[in-house]
Structure 1
Amino acid sequence: MSEDVEPSRNISGGGDGGGSTTAFETDAGASTRAGTVVDRLGELYWQKTYGGQDAFECLVRTILSQNTSDAASQPAHDALMERYGANPDTAAREGETEPDLVEALADADRAQLAETISGAGLHNQKSARIIDIAERIRTEYGREADFDAFVRDEDAEEVRETLLELSGVGPKTADCVLLFAGGRDGVFPVDTHVHRIYRRLGIAPPDADHETVRAVLEEMVPEERCGFGHTASIQFGREYCTARKPACLDGPEACPLYDLCDRVGVDPANGEVVDPAETVES
């Protein structure tokens, strides 16, 4: 297993974001190419089981990450937690018995919250969305601990459907909460990197949407490997399989997955790179 440390600026929260390092035996006879890819990524990066994040904070973190980079969303998350997160000293001054992020954000002033998270982009939309969700969670579940219990203990499909009913929560956001807070095996969230990589590899159809890619991966990758498969794929997408200049353009030795990849939409001979969907004849 690689000694590489998972970056802290990652939707998973990095090494301090919950879960635990877990060594898996690489399956040399993996039954699917997707399983072989994820095993290779586990050798290249890290292997972890996830879970343990506070569910509501994880939901907020993922909303902040929408349509922006981790480099931008992480400082916004940190600023939000500094102003609204659990602070026993503040709680004591205000006469509360226990600080609660759901309560704090449900009662937050929208303009102040927007200013706090302004570095994440779309801050006016995201601040309104976070307050609306906090109000709904307070009404339907109560405090932060009650929502945690729902995410961790109830049926995964019921949790996912409930999360998808929240304004501004899409499949990737719901799946991240299930994975990083709920610790659910078999959940492989699909962001832009995962969507690009597994269509470019030829594992998912070139014109597959995010939900189709998710279904393919969750069927083909062993359940206990889906979590680190997601986070390691994102890192691989940043370092090697970028949207415009994938490493394979520099030759087979430049990419650790070259032998497993169909390079759909990539022509190393002339350096042309298009979205895999553009290779489908209309």
Structure 2
Amino acid sequence: MSDDEPAENISGGDAGGGRPAAFEAAEDPATRAEAVVDALGDQYWRKAYGGQDAFECLVRTILSQNTSDKASQPAHDALMARYGPADDGADGGGDGDDLAESLADAAQDEVAETISGAGLYNMKSERIVALAERVVEEYGGADGFDAFVRREDPGTVRETLLDMDGVGPKTADCVLLFAGGRGGVFPVDTHVHRIARRMGLAPADADHEGVREALEESVPPGKCGFGHTAMIQFGREYCTAREPACLGGPEACPLYDLCDRVGIDELAGEAVDPSEAVADGSGD
């Protein structure tokens, strides 16, 4: 595991929110993707998500872009301590009870200083302040934005989020999942993108949106959330980019029998991106 990766995916671990949920493993899964998610649930956790504050979730996900949990979590904590509501459990340096209002009024350079440990802090601070201003202007603050995310049609929410500067598909889907509690949302990060294509759950040359569509079509809605968080953990622990566990033999990976191993050459002990394997014909 890279030193940049924390030991556990905080979104799925005990500190990551959500609540344990007894999703039943299917006796006869309708798809191999469902079988994989059931196996991941046995390996790690089964949780239902939702209930996080939508604007804070948006800010947290912006901070995590191109940055590990190990770096983004302290930046989030520092931001909440300086600008969060006084009753949020931190120092609550904000002027009121609304994180969006506090950040909309904040000096961008001070926000940048606060989140400097998260990487790309100048760009992220500009985006966070601009998003706060938009949320205050269009929704009256964090509470109004939270109600919009939880109650409006999911397609409308996703379209609106994608129209915001700095918000891509993964960020939008994380807000829908962790704040909105929307079923059938399977956010795709680097780990999910790699693993779904390597296992053959999505086309080897699919982009992030292609992987998302494939997984959301083949995984039951109630299992998408924990499928996302557990697949990230699986990618950190077993299915890494360059040295996946299967190179050590079938017994080294708990999901070996469910995987097509696209781009994996066990004899040579090599792993390439699945799209490269298809391009050179080795994945046929």
Task: With the length of structure 1 as denominator, give the TM-score of the two structures.
Answer: 0.92
Deviation at 1:26, TM superposition (A): 1.1
What's the counterpart of residue 178 of structure 2? Answer: 180
Q: Does 2:147 align with 1:149?
A: yes
Match of 1:121 among 119, 125, 129: 119
Deviation at 1:280, TM superposition (A): 2.1
Deviation at 1:16, TM superposition (A): 4.4
Kindly indicate whether the alpha-carbon contact (under 8 Å) linking 1:9 and 1:71 is maintained by their aligned counterparts in 2. Answer: no
Deviation at 1:17, TM superposition (A): 4.2
Q: Does 2:47 align with 1:31?
A: no
Please give the residue correspondences for 1:1-282 in structure 2 after superposition, counting only pairs within 5 Å.
10=9, 12=11, 14-88=13-87, 98-281=96-279
Partner Cα distance (1:274, 1:179) in 2: 31
What's the counterpart of residue 4 of structure 1? Answer: none
For residues 53-91 of structure 1, the C-alpha deviation after alignment (integer angstroms, 9 at most, x for no partner) is: 000000000000000111111111111111111114999
Deviation at 1:92, TM superposition (A): 11
For residues 177-222 of structure 1, the C-alpha deviation after alignment (integer angstroms, 9 at most, x for no partner) is: 0000000000000000000000000111111000000000000001
Report SS of the residue matched to 1:204: coil
Deviation at 1:262, TM superposition (A): 0.8
Partner Cα distance (1:242, 1:91) in 2: 38
Q: 1:13 to 1:245 in 2, by over 3 A?
A: closer
Q: Which region of structure 1 is more displaced relative to structure 2, 84-93 or 234-243?
A: 84-93
Deviation at 1:272, TM superposition (A): 1.2
Structure 1 gaps, min length 5: 1-6
For residues 91-119 of structure 1, the C-alpha deviation after alignment (integer angstroms, 9 at most, x for no partner) is: 9999x6x5110001111111111111111
Q: 1:92 to 1:221 in 2, by over 3 A?
A: closer
Counting matched residue pairs gives 274
Structure 2 gaps, min length 5: 1-5
Report SS of the residue matched to 2:103: helix
Superposition CA RMSD, Å: 2.1
Deviation at 1:10, TM superposition (A): 4.0
Partner Cα distance (1:147, 1:17) in 2: 22
Partner Cα distance (2:51, 2:77) in 1: 18
Partner Cα distance (2:113, 2:140) in 1: 27
Q: Identity percentage over the alignment?
A: 69
Report SS of the residue matched to 1:280: helix
Amino acid at match of 2:76: H
Kindly indicate whether the alpha-carbon contact (under 8 Å) linking 1:160 and 1:175 is maintained by their aligned counterparts in 2. Answer: yes
Partner Cα distance (2:157, 2:193) in 1: 23
Q: 1:126 to 1:170 in 2, by over 3 A?
A: same
Kindly indicate whether the alpha-carbon contact (under 8 Å) linking 1:9 and 1:74 is maintained by their aligned counterparts in 2. Answer: no
Kindly indicate whether the alpha-carbon contact (under 8 Å) linking 2:64 and 2:72 is maintained by their aligned counterparts in 1. Answer: yes
Q: Which region of structure 1 is more displaced relative to structure 2, 16-25 or 113-122?
A: 16-25
Deviation at 1:24, TM superposition (A): 1.7
Q: 1:92 to 1:263 in 2, by over 3 A?
A: closer
